[in-house]
Structure 1
Amino acid sequence: MKARVTIMLKDGVLDPQGEAIRHALSGLGHKGVDAVRQGKVIELDLSATDKAEAEAEVARMCETLLANTVIEKYTVEIA
């Protein structure tokens, strides 16, 4: 089973890297980009066979290590 975790800064949290990307895009001539939020994607290969158990385990991983839940939100996709 595979899991994909997408981690993004929560709304309202300053994203200086996203702003730097937006500025660089503008400097390269890409107009019309009003805002950029950057994040990260983590892919996991799991030995679990039950989708609900896998999702719960990955959520625990996010809560304890993968995401800083004070300033980040995450979504989990199991395939």
Structure 2
Amino acid sequence: MCCLSTCRVKVLEISGYGGSTGEVKQMRHFLGKLKYLETVKIGVEEDNNNNGENLRANIMTLDRVSSKCNIQFI
């Protein structure tokens, strides 16, 4: 059982997000378990292929357990 569902975390800030398989899995886990989450601030690491747009779009499609959760890109 995951203890994140009982954590009262309201703000989560992530920097250097690159969209790797592991990072997406972790992001899905956070968004799916942190039911008190209100704000997620994500610093996307853009590469030379300008993949930042795709990373942002993919993050926005992830399910969130908290209806109050707002995702911001910094």
Given the two structures, how large is their TM-score scaled by the length of structure 2?
Answer: 0.33
TM-score (structure 1 length as normaliser): 0.32
Q: Which has the higher strand share?
A: 1
Higher RCO (Cα < 8 Å, 6 or more apart)? 1
